Each structure stands twice: as C-alpha cells, then as structure tokens.
Amino acid sequence: MKQVTLKQIAENLGISITTVSKALKNYPDVSKKTKALVKEEAKKLQYKPNVFAVNLRTKQSRTVGLIIPEVVHHFFSSVINGIIEQAEKKGYLVIILQSNESYKLEKRQIDLLISKRVDGIMISLASTTVDISHLQEVQSLDIPLVMFDKISKLIPCSKIIIDDRKAAYEATKHLIDSGCKRIAHFRGALLPQNSIDRFLGYKKALEDHGLTYDPSLIYICENVNYEEGREAADKLLKEHDDVDGIFTITDLVAVGAIAVFNERGVKVPEDISIMGFSNWFVSQAITPSLSTIDQPGYEMGKRTFKQLYKEMKAKKEGKPFPPKIKTLDTFVIKRNSTK
Amino acid sequence: MKQVTLKQIAENLGISITTVSKALKNYPDVSKKTKALVKEEAKKLQYKPNVFAVNLRTKQSRTVGLIIPEVVHHFFSSVINGIIEQAEKKGYLVIILQSNESYKLEKRQIDLLISKRVDGIMISLASTTVDISHLQEVQSLDIPLVMFDKISKLIPCSKIIIDDRKAAYEATKHLIDSGCKRIAHFRGALLPQNSIDRFLGYKKALEDHGLTYDPSLIYICENVNYEEGREAADKLLKEHDDVDGIFTITDLVAVGAIAVFNERGVKVPEDISIMGFSNWFVSQAITPSLSTIDQPGYEMGKRTFKQLYKEMKAKKEGKPFPPKIKTLDTFVIKRNSTK
DNA sequence: TTCTTAACCGAAAACGTTTTCGATTTTTAT
DNA sequence: ATAAAAATCGAAAACGTTTTCGGTTAAGAA
C-alpha cells in the first residue's frame, strides 16, 4: 500500500521521471504517444501528486488563511460561506482561525499563518487591535493581504467594506422619517472603527434633521451582545422616559432591548421604535420583527476572496497589485419595530 | 529579502547544516556551546523553518480537515468553534469545507483533503449521503477519521454523537407531561439518521404514555428551515384543529411555526405547545421563548478534535486506534412555548 | 549523400529539511 | 603513556517534484 510516485510510473514504463512529469503536465516536448501511455498508467495506479513536494518546489501552498473575530456569529459565518465557496472554485483551501476579539491571539495567528506559508491572508480585525505591526510584517513579506469589514486605515492593502457611517445615517434617518424626535443610540466600544463610524452617522443624521445630539442618550455596549442590549434598555428606561427611538450598533443588542421592552409592557414601535444593524436571521423571527440594515456578509466574503485571488495571481506573474477599496451597498430593511 | 535557511545559518557560523538542524531541535549530540550559538544566530536572522520541506521530510502537514453540511448554522458554527480552539492548542490548523448537504460535493471534498494530505479528517455527513465509498477510501489510506452528529453506522470509526432518539423521547415526554394529548411532529427528510431517530423517539414516547401514533400528524420538512416550518404550521392549522402540541426536528422549524401561530392568533402555549431541538440562540429571543433540547455543539467539536488527535498520535507511534463512540448528554430546556 | 532543423527524451540540479551512520576529537581510565 | 569510552560533528541520502538545458534521434532540405 505504498504511495504512488512519478518514479513508480517511470519504472513501469521504462522511461524517465522527467518525461512522466512533463507528460502529465502536457509539455509540448513529449510525443502524443507517450503522453497517452503515461496518463493511462497514472490513472491505473491512481497516481496523486505529493503536494508536499509540489509545495516545496513551487513555493506555494494553494492555501489561504482567514482570521475573524468570532465564528459563531451570523454575519461572519456568512462571510466564511462566501469565502470558502469562491476559494474552492479556484482550487484553494481555507484555514480558518478566530481571534476572539483578542489582539494577542490575532497576532499569534498571523504568525501561524505566515509560518504555514499560506499564499494569502484575509482578516477582519479584533476590536482591541490598535498595534498593527503584525499586519505590517505580512506586507513586508509580500504576502497578499485583504481586509474586510473591520479594517485599519493605516495598512495600505485592499479592503472590502460597507460605509458604516452612511448606513448608520440612513438607519437613523429612517427613525426620524417615521416620526421619532428623541433618539438614543446603543453603541459599541469606543475603539473599533465601525463603532465610531456608526456613531458618527447617527450624530450626523440628527444634526441634518434639526434634532439636537444629547450625549446622555448614548449607551455603550462593550461586547455588543444580547445581555448588554438588555442592560442598556433597562438603564434607558430608568433614565429617560421621553425617548421614542433607538438605533443599536447591531441586531443582537436590539433583540435584547426588545426583550426587555416586551417584558415591561413598553410597546414597540408605538412607544419606542428600534433599528438594528446587520440583518441577522433572528431579526425576522422575533416579535415584533426588527427593522435593520442589511449587511451583505456572503457577498463580502465572495469579493474578499476574489480580490485576494487577483493579488495572488498578480504576485505570481511578478506584476504589482495596487490596493483597491470596495464599498458594498447596504439598505434599510423595514419591519415591524419601526413605524 | 531572501528566505532564511539552515544553510544560511550554517555558513554564517562556519558549521554544517546538520549540526544547525540538530542544535535547533536539541539533539543530545550537539555541545551546549554550539547550541547556544546556533540559537542566537537563528533568532537574529529570524529563522523560520520551511514547512514545505518539513512536511515533505516528515510526511505530515499538521493540518486537519473538517467537512460540515453548512457553515451558517448555529449548531455547526459552535462545533467549528470547539474544533479550531482545540486544534490550535495542539498546534494544528483546520481546513474547513462545506458540503451544502450534497453527496457529490462531500465526495469531492474528501478527495481534496486526501490530496492535500491532511493528517486527519472530521466530518458530519450530508443528509443525502448513502454511498460511503469515499469514507472507506479515507480508512483504506489509514487516515484517522472521526465522525460527529450526522454519522454513518457502516463506517467503523470513532464517533461523537448525541442520542437523538432519547433526546426526542424526552422532548416529547415533556410535552406529554405538560398535558398535551395530541402531538404532531414536524420531521426532517426520510433519510438522515438523526431525522429517523428523532422520529422514533417521538413515536416511542407516545406509545409509552398511552397516546396513539397518528401518521397524519407527521409533517415532513425536507430542508429543515424557517420557511418550511411556516408551511407545515399552515397545513397543520388547515388539517387538524385538535392538535395541542408539536415537536419539531429543529428550532428553526419551530420558530417558523410560532411565527405563523402568532400571526393567526393561535396562542402558544395555551392553544398549542411547541418543543424545538438544538437550542439555537434565536430560541431564547423570540416570543414566546422556545422550549427546546440543548445540543452541545461546542463540546462536541472539542471532543471530536481530541479524539482525532489521539488517533493521529497513535498512528504516528505505530499503535492501533480502536474506534470509540462517545454519546454526549442532552437535556430539556424549559421556556415559554410549553406549559 | 550530407547538413539543418525539428521533435523528443533524460540527466541533473534544485527546493530545505531530517536522520542515519561513520569519522573525528576529547575525555576518562588504566 | 596508551587504550577505551564518550562527546561532538558532518557527509550524504532521502523525501517527490519541477524545470533547465544538453543530447539523441528522426525528418526534411540541399
């Protein structure tokens, strides 16, 4: 039950390893006759090239790395889906790692991927990442790098993103258009760019529509989850009785808030309207269903790999690959949590 | 910016490649002095071994493959989470592929993983998989294989599962205990083992508690999703007005059903009680919250990799690794969709 | 016929590592 | 002092492939 090699085939046929190799790869300097012979024998023996040897020789692995903050997350799993589908089509396999939103882990994982010699890396940054030296190392090693969703503006690589600011603006505008006069914002931590951008979009929308921005209406959800949505809603009810709309940084937070309002008899959207962000599956299933912003995860994953593929190809051909930034469209999904 | 190799270090230090290699791996036949020298130089040059060469030489990749039916799925993404965490701890990376519940894709992906020469494979079968020759090939190549959740009894490999039949029995029993007399079952397709087992558990529970099994109360959801849950609920309302309980094959179906009942003014659990299966996040967020069966995805992933790791290790040491079957506990989570 | 050209094949180097085994040097015992 | 034992090192093969380049044979031209 030994491994079939080129040598094996060569010996069986009484020809050289070189010719076997070239025959299998359709080199022009092998006669049709021997090509046929070799291919037949290869098939008979079920020859499969030893990727380890191929990798060593060609200096590429046909494998790419993907680092995301969390796997169990509707948006990110959609991204994964888009990426591995595209990758498989192009003959690439994907190694997936999760940073658990930790900078330290993220750094270690970058190192892992580098030492595994993946052909390219895709990453969505952890919220806590500020130091970007690990990403600079990727670039200095000339490994194609594409960032998506949670990016750093300081790294000159290709990026696939949405316009968080614009999307947040539209979400807030939707609340305003539906009659809300006093709108709170459940935001994320202070650091991550998308948390900042969504906050800025919210603020701009208020200002553009004659509503005054009130810092006391801003609630911070560090970890952006269900529980924190509940806590923020609870606080809000204690501190403000005049709020008639909330824009949350993500659906999960909104879902937690709605749960609290349902329990306390606060009517949504009659008393308070709520806008989520991301369009998780859960948002269509709860009562009332949640108005939100569609964030195209699958599409983002697809584009991310496609861009990476282009860059890997360009690199192989010795061409330069100037970074491209692609902003995907988002749109408001109106459901029953807003009027 | 060239790649640092053992040769490089050897030349700098005026010693042989052999000694450098051995020094870095702490072989006993290298003096402490040279070891220190080599290690220092390696650090200075930031030497990183070329995995391609290591792989070729050692015949292993320190990479494992994972095939699941769907990435965007709460249970499976939990499994992924458990697997990649464990794997990283042991220095293994994970290549993830999804079969989209297609036998054809699954087969192709097994081939891909084999040709990538992963050290081991973990798989949860597609619903449509009946032919198992691709799995037999994995075994005949002596590649460690562990199956989880959706397994085939015909392959003698290790398995990490839950007792679907028992869990379904308990779910149904919970409905009976809470007073339901006429219980429907929204089941999955006829083929997959877990769909069969859950059905059998349901049936057994009815029989054990003096309720007659009525085939007209069985509704089939081929793809086991939200939409089909809605359709089944719709049909049920038209065909039966005396049903007071439903056990669904998975939460998603239950959520679809609850949505329909909410829309039509059917009270849950007063008019109809509902039990889900899996404990997706969504089940705690909807109104009413969904009683369900906890299916420990993270734990299953963790155990799956651990078992695979044991077998890869045993294989390296030339020891046999008899297949083990581990059944994880499940339990009823009582929420507001049952009395 | 001889010379040129084209078609076909294979030797050999290279990719970077690991490991065996023999050679050399140093240390210890006598 | 010499012999034996221990410590230290390195040559070389091997893993399986790809690719360059020179060589041989066959075909065509003069």
Tens digit of each residue's pLDDT (9 = 90 or more) over A285-314: 998 999 999 999 999 999 999 999 999 999
Report how far apart, in Å, the C-alpha atoms of B276 and of each of B67, B236, B240 are.
Answer: 25, 17, 20
* Cα–Cα dist B44/B308, whole Å: 37
Residue A281: which of B84, B115, B282 has the nearest Cβ?
B282
Residue B134 is which amino acid? H
- Provide mean pLDDT across the span B289-307: 97
Residues of B in contact with A251 (CB under 8 A): none
Length of chain A in residues, anyone? 339
Count residue pairs from A and B with Cβ separation < 8 A: 120
Interchain CB contact of B102 with A (< 8 Å): no
**For A215-258, how does the pLDDT look when each residue is reduced to its tens digit (9 = 90+)?**
999 999 999 999 999 999 999 999 999 999 999 999 999 999 99
Per-residue pLDDT averaged across A93-101, rounded?
Answer: 96
Residue A71 and residue B94: Cβ atoms within 8 Å?
no
**B18, closest nucleotide (Cα–C1'):** D10
Write down the pLDDT at residue A1.
54
Query: Structure pTM?
Result: 0.93
List pLDDT tens digits, range B24-72.
999 999 999 999 999 999 999 999 999 999 999 999 999 999 999 999 9
Chain A nearest C-alpha distance from B211 (Å): 32
Quote the CA–CA distance of B38 and B22 in Å, as a whole number: 10
Backbone CA torsion sign across B293, B299, B305, B311 = negative
Nearest-Cα distance to chain A for B260, in Å, is: 10
* Of A183-187, A331-335, B162-166, B286-290, minimum mean pLDDT range: B286-290
- The C-alpha of B208 sits at a distance from chain A's nearest C-alpha, in angstroms, of 34
Contact A151, A304 (CB under 8 A): no
What's the rounded mean pLDDT across residues B268-284? Answer: 95
| pLDDT, tens only, B100-156 | 999 999 999 999 999 999 999 999 999 888 899 999 999 999 999 999 999 999 999
For nucleotide C15, the protein residue with its alpha carbon nearest to C1' is A57
Q: What is the mean pLDDT of residues A85-108?
A: 96
Nearest to A96 among B55, B73, B94 (CB): B94
B6 to each of A291, B14, B16, how far by Cα in Å?
59, 12, 9
Strands (E), chain B: 63-68, 93-98, 120-123, 145-148, 158-162, 183-187, 218-220, 245-248, 273-275, 292-294, 325-328, 331-333
C-alpha span between A239 and A46 (Å, rounded): 72
pLDDT beyond 70 at B255: yes
**pLDDT for position A129:** 83
Residue B146: CA count within 13 A, CB half-sphere:
29
- Please give the pLDDT value at position A83: 98
Q: Which chain B residues are Cβ-neighbours of A97 within 8 angstroms?
A: 84, 88, 93
Question: Which residue type occupies B223?
Answer: N
Say if A154 is an interface residue toward chain B (CB within 8 Å). Answer: no
Using CB atoms, pick whichever of B1, B94, B98 lies closest to residue A95. Answer: B94
Per-residue pLDDT averaged across B257-264, rounded?
94
Contact between chains at B114 and A81 (C-beta distance less than 8 A): no
Q: Which nucleotides of chain C are near protein (any atom < 7 Å from a CB)?
A: 7-12, 14-22
Q: B154 touching A, CB under 8 A?
A: no
Average pLDDT of the residues in A12-31:
94
* Backbone phi and psi for residue A203, each to the nearest 5 degrees, phi listed first: -65, -45
Distances (CA, A) of B247 to A58, A105, B165, B179, B194: 56, 42, 13, 14, 14
DSSP assigned state of A218: E
Chain A window 309-328: residues with CB closer than 7 Å to nucleic chain C are none
Tell me the CA–C1' distance in angstroms for A2 and C17.
Answer: 22
- Record: contact A285-B287, CB cut-off 8 A: no
Q: Which residue of B has its CA nearest to A62?
A: B116
> Is B84's Cβ below 8 Å from some Cβ in A?
yes
Contact B48 A84 (CB under 8 A): no
Backbone angles phi and psi of A212, in degrees to 5: -85, 140
Mean pLDDT of chain A: 95
> Is B281 in Cβ contact with A286 (below 8 Å)?
no
Task: Give residue-wise pLDDT tens across range A110-133.
Answer: 999 999 999 999 999 998 888 999
Residue labelled with tokens 């007005």: B241
Give the burial class of B32: count Cβ atoms within 10 A of its Cβ; 0-12 exposed, 13-18 middle, 19 or more buried: exposed
Q: In this complex, which residue's CA is closest to the C1' atom of nucleotide C10?
A: A16
Tell me what the mean pLDDT of segment A313-331 comes to. 94
Q: pLDDT above 90 covers what percent of chain A?
A: 94
Q: Specify the pLDDT at position A241.
A: 93
- Measured in angstroms, the CA of B213 and the nearest CA of chain A are apart by 31
Q: Which of B270, B285, B251, B74 is nearest to B171 (CA)?
A: B251
Contacts of A160 (CB under 8 A, 6+ apart): A146, A147, A148, A149, A300, A303, A304, A307, A326, A328
